[in-house]
Structures are given as C-alpha cells and as structure tokens.
Structure 1
Amino acid sequence: MDVNAHARDPRDHVNEEPRNDLGDLMNGFFGMTAFMTIVFFGMVIIKFVFSE
C-alpha cells in the first residue's frame, strides 16, 4: 500500500506572527490597573459631588 501523505513538522509555524508575550502581559496589566484607578477616583469624585 502506497499512501500519498505528506507529514509536516508541527514546529514549523508558517502562519505565526512574531509576538512579545511578556510585553502584551505587561501592557494588559498596567492598562487595566490604570483604567481601574481612573474609575476609582471618578467614583470618589462623584460620591463627594452628590453627597449632602
């Protein structure tokens, strides 16, 4: 039996884009921290504006 199969090395990532995983992680972490800090201070300001 002759099978016409072409095996590929799974380590050949022909469509993979180069990525910086640590940089993506740091950007996400600090971006979310900055966003939540802004939300926190915004809520504190709103609390003091609407408090009587």
Structure 2
Amino acid sequence: MSEQQYHPELHVYEEERNDLIDVAVGFGGFFGVLFLIALVATIVSLLMK
C-alpha cells in the first residue's frame, strides 16, 4: 500500500459538502421522528382514557 493515502491533506472529496444544510436536514429529521413519537404517544394516551 502506498503511504500517501493516509495523508488527510491529499484526500479529495468525492462531492462538495454543505455543513449548514447537513445540520439542518439532520435536525429536521430528528425533530420529525420525535414529533411522530409524541403524536403516537398522545393518541394512545387519549384512547386509553
């Protein structure tokens, strides 16, 4: 193996990264999952009364 592949400054990204969009999508997805869990828990608690 070539020793050059372990140098991070020589690494070429396959695609451009937009950190703000990555964080926004991650936050939105996590919020959506938690909102879905809360919605299901609310419906179940109302049906059990």
Q: TM-score, normalised by structure 2?
A: 0.66
More helix by share: 2
Higher CA-based Rg? 1
Name the % identity.
30
Compute the displacement of 1:47 (Å): 0.7
1:10, CA displacement in angstroms? 5.4
The aligned residue for residue 22 of structure 1 is: 20
**Structure 1 unmatched ranges of 5 or more:** 1-6
CA distance in 2, matches of 1:19, 1:50: 47
After TM superposition, list the pairs within 5 Å mapping 1:1-52 onto structure 2: 11-14=9-12, 16-17=13-14, 18-51=16-49
- How many residue pairs end up in the alignment? 45
Q: Which has the higher contact order (CA 8 A, sep 6+)?
A: 2
TM-score by length of 1: 0.63
